[in-house]
Amino acid sequence: MLSAKPATKRGDVLGQVIFCLGCCCGRPDRGHPALPVDWIKSEWKAHKLNKKIQLTISGCLGPCDVPNVVWVHTPNQSRWFGKLSTDEIYRDLVAWAISSAEHGELLPFPSSLLPHEFDRFEVPALQTSNV
């Protein structure tokens, strides 16, 4: 019988930033703004951010009615942002990650990102029906 090794964590990771690059997100061929994957990866690497804030470029995270989604997951919260469309927003998000890593704690999100926040599991208003 194989014995399982206990899971170990890497250092003092503050959180994880997960960018969607799936069926809709980051896909100009589907009418959505491109996700600057290469630039994001190069910035994360140049600033050695994965030691504090891990980066994941994922397949579809859903919900597909909100394109260009990023999910920020931490031990204390889970925040979703969508409809990211400008280089400025991506620069602000990377700058936030750099500052948070340098301070050793998650700082408040940049104001440019806040209008893009949404509740991942919010139930839309139900239509009246004859059930």
pLDDT of residue 7: 43
CA 37/CA 99 separation, integer angstroms: 20
Q: What is the pLDDT of residue 126?
A: 40
Q: CA 84 to CA 66: how far, in whole Å?
A: 9
Within the chain, which residues score under 70 in pLDDT?
1-11, 123-131
Domain segments of the chain: what residues? 23-118
What pLDDT is recorded for position 100? 96
Model pLDDT, residue 11: 62
DSSP labels, 8-61: ---TT--EEEEEE-SSSTT-GGGTSPPP-HHHHHHHHHHTTGGGTEEEEEES--
pTM: predicted TM-score of the whole model, two decimal places: 0.84
- Asked whether the beta carbons of 93 and 70 are under 8 A apart, the reply is yes
pLDDT in the model for residue 59: 93
The pLDDT assigned to 12 comes to 85
| Per-residue pLDDT, 127 | 43
